[in-house]
Amino acid sequence: MSKVTVFPKSKAAKRQKIISLMLGSSVIIVFLIAWELLFQFKLVNPLFISAPSRVVLAEISIIKDGTLLKHFIVSAKEFGFGYVAAIIFGFPFGIMLGWFKLLKASFGPFIAALQATPRIALMPLFIIWFGLGITAKIVVVLLSAIFPLIVNLQVAMSTIDPDLVHVARAYGAGRWQIFRSIALPTSLPFLITGLRLAAGRGLLGVIVAEVFGGSEGIGYMIEYAGSTFQTDKVFAGVLVVAIVGISLDVTLDRVGRHFDRWRSDTAVH
Amino acid sequence: MTVDAPETTTLQRFVQSGVATAVMGELDNVMKSHNEANQTVKYPDNRPVKLSIKNLVVGYLDHQSGQTTVAVDKVSLDVREGEFVSIVGLSGCGKSTFLNAIAGLVKHQYGEIKVNDRLVNGPGKDRAVVFQKASLFPWKKVGRNITYGLELSGMKPAEAREKASYFVNLIRLTGFEHHYPHQLSGGMQQRVNLARALACDPEVLLLDEPFAALDAITRELMQNELLELCEKVGKTVVMVTHQIDEAVLLSDRVIIFSARPANILDDIRVPFSRPRKGLIKDSEEFRSLMSHVWKIIEGNANIGGGI
């Protein structure tokens, strides 16, 4: 019996990857240089636009004096609690909605209505209910992150291969065994997609909620720096949020790929 | 109409089932001719009966049209231990429904199915099915796919792994235990499907057009492989197929189903001795048996207009 041959990535494919990487990074570098020049030659009021070099300096100073860490910890807590709560409620709820048709019929329209409502518009209410502290922000993160999870897992249940269920039944599998051996593995890629979307929405939620009201967190730091014309500090805050967002996305993508090894290479992710 | 006691209970069970009222008209015919139903053993055989089917009626309700279809009409069949029985017939004649009823995946309205003298009502560990589509779990490696049935019934992973490697060798996929299904060809996938069924060590193995989805060459090779495999493990097998040559090559008996509703037109004993080789297909005897089977199917198709 012959061994299955796995072809290594061709040289042409490797070269193409390097070229696109170079193109992508050179656009960013050109942009940063142009921005710096705009500032150095005072073509636009420097107060409004800051400069990459100033942003780096501001970043270093807020790291040194501990402001960044203080605000970062608050934002991380708000995001963390809200995100985990979204998973705890969203994962089983989404699966149940997809699994039980009656449940979907009852809750589907309500969820669609909630999803269409911009959560941040409810922020004044949350402040009235939960105050200016951490709780209101956790609720915003929870409500921002939960819907992508619910929707994705519900869709996952509808992609279950009926032939596999037929086979499982023929082997005498009960409802719970079918759920565990077919529904859960099927849902995994959808869970990862849901988690990635939820991370993005949750991050947005936490920053906007902090800008809205309160006295702590990265969002508050950005808002305060903006209203006192410290544009370099605004950019420094935004940079931190962007880095966190990208690393979360990359990490979840890696985790997803790890669980996706069984998929054929041609499958759409 | 007068019926005696045991029949009344079957009747009651029938009435309680969902399709009952709709199939009621059909039932009259069944009851009328019930006593005439022939139970003669066509071929004397002293092996114990493994699978016994008596007066099986399977009907189903089409939810869209509201029409009832009787797919299997009063079929009786005994399969003895170690026997390989094939069922051939026109497509849509109800032979797959018949097999699904034996598997317990489709409810029957009348009659009984017994495996080792135990009544069948629902899927069970004493039967295993190989469907036309391999339907392997794409996220499980070959080994774990083979042991799926064993894991369902709670076998320990270490023990299951040992079993898996035995069956991987049996279906000649040594070295592929840790491959995912998408890395295998269609024929290899179907072999894994077969191993998954054999691993459960079922009393009766049910094959539902197992090679229909394969290309002609692979199918030919798989037939020979199944022939060898079955003679090695000595299972009781019921196979549904469209391929007359496949049926004659593999079987001890070929059962010919009529157009729907299915009943048995003929029960033909295949005279070739075992172990057989795929080469017997070239013999005069093989060809004349095939054309005999074909004539019965064709004759029925013309009468019933069942094509």
Domain CATH for A95: 1.10.3720.10
Q: What is the 3-state secondary structure (H, E, C) of B211-273?
A: CCCCCHHHHHHHHHHHHHHHHHHCCEEEEEECCHHHHHHHCCEEEEECCCCECEEEEEECCCC
User: Directed axis angle between helix A67-99 and helix A52-64, to 10°?
Assistant: 100
Of all residues in chain A, the one with the smallest CA distance to B185 is: A4
> Does A113 lie in the same domain as A40?
no
> Does A246 lie in the same domain as A189?
yes
Nearest CB among A4, A172, A185 relative to B139 is that of: A185
Q: What is the pLDDT of residue A9?
A: 61
**A82-130, pLDDT tens digit by residue?**
999 999 999 999 999 998 888 889 998 998 888 888 888 888 888 899 9
B71: three-class secondary structure by DSSP: strand
CA-nearest of B211, B256, B255 to B229 is B211
B-chain residues near A3 (CB < 8 A):
175
Q: CA-CA distance, A264 to A188, in Å (whole number)?
A: 16
Is the CB of A172 less than 8 angstroms away from the CB of B152?
yes
Going by their DSSP bridges, the two strands B253-257 and B236-241 should be labelled as unpaired
- A183: its two tokens: 């529904």
CB B168 within 8 A of CB B195: yes
Distance from CA of B107 to the nearest CA of A (A): 13
CA-nearest of B157, B149, B108 to B10 is B108
**B186-219, pLDDT tens digit by residue?**
888 998 998 899 888 888 999 999 888 888 888 8
Domain count, chain A: 2
> Does A120 lie in the same domain as A33?
no
Peptide bond into B275 cis (omega under 30): yes
Q: How does residue A36 score in pLDDT terms, banded at 50, 70 and 90?
A: very high
> Does A114 lie in the same domain as A4?
no
> Does A165 lie in the same domain as A36?
no
> Does A71 lie in the same domain as A40?
no
B69: three-class secondary structure by DSSP: strand
Q: Where are the beta strands (DSSP E) in chain B?
A: 49-61, 68-80, 84-88, 110-115, 118-119, 127-130, 204-208, 236-241, 253-257, 264-269
Pick among B137, B141, B183 to test the A interface (most A CBs inside 10 A): B137
Q: What is the pLDDT of residue A223?
A: 93
Q: Which residues of chain B have pLDDT under 50?
A: 1-18, 20-22, 24, 28, 30-40, 306-307
Which amino acid is residue B255, in one-letter code?
I
> Does A124 lie in the same domain as A246?
yes
Q: What is the pLDDT of residue B6?
A: 43
Q: CA-CA distance, A268 to A253, in Å (whole number)?
A: 14
Q: Does A173 touch chain B (CB under 8 A)?
A: yes
Q: What is the pLDDT of residue B89?
A: 87
> Does A138 lie in the same domain as A7?
no
Domain encompassing residue A11: 1-44
Which amino acid is residue B41, in one-letter code?
V
Query: Does A2 have pLDDT greater than 70?
Result: no
**A179-220, pLDDT tens digit by residue?**
988 999 999 989 999 999 999 999 999 999 999 888 899 999
Nearest CB among A3, A169, A170 relative to B175 is that of: A3
> Does A183 lie in the same domain as A170?
yes
Peptide bond into A8 cis (omega under 30): no
Q: CA-CA distance, B288 to B290, in Å (whole number)?
A: 5
Query: Does A266 have pLDDT greater than 70?
Result: no
Q: Does B139 touch chain A (CB under 8 A)?
A: yes
- B242: its two tokens: 């469209």
Interface confidence: ipTM more than 0.95: no
How far the first Cα of chain A sits from its last, in Å, is 32
A-chain residues near B152 (CB < 8 A):
168, 171-173, 177, 181
> Does A154 lie in the same domain as A35?
no
Is the CB of B182 less than 8 angstroms away from the CB of A262?
yes
Q: What is the pLDDT of residue B4?
A: 41
Distance from CA of B186 to the nearest CA of A (A): 14
CA atoms within a 13 Å half-sphere pointing along the CA-CB vector of A174 = 3
> Does A140 lie in the same domain as A253?
yes
Q: Does B174 touch chain A (CB under 8 A)?
A: yes
Distance from CA of B29 to the nearest CA of A (A): 32
Q: Does A172 touch chain B (CB under 8 A)?
A: yes
Q: Where are the alpha helices (DSSP H) in chain A?
A: 11-40, 46-49, 52-64, 67-99, 101-116, 123-130, 134-158, 162-170, 175-178, 184-212, 218-227, 231-259
Pick among A1, A3, A6, A171 to test the B interface (most B CBs inside 10 A): A171
Burial of A260 (0-12, 13-18, 19+ CB in 10 A): middle
- B106: its two tokens: 């489709």
Is the CB of A170 less than 8 angstroms away from the CB of B200?
no
How far the first Cα of chain B sits from its last, in Å, is 36
> Does A53 lie in the same domain as A165?
yes
- Spatial neighbors of A187 by CB under 8 A, at least 6 apart, are A95, A153, A156, A157
Going by their DSSP bridges, the two strands B84-88 and B253-257 should be labelled as parallel
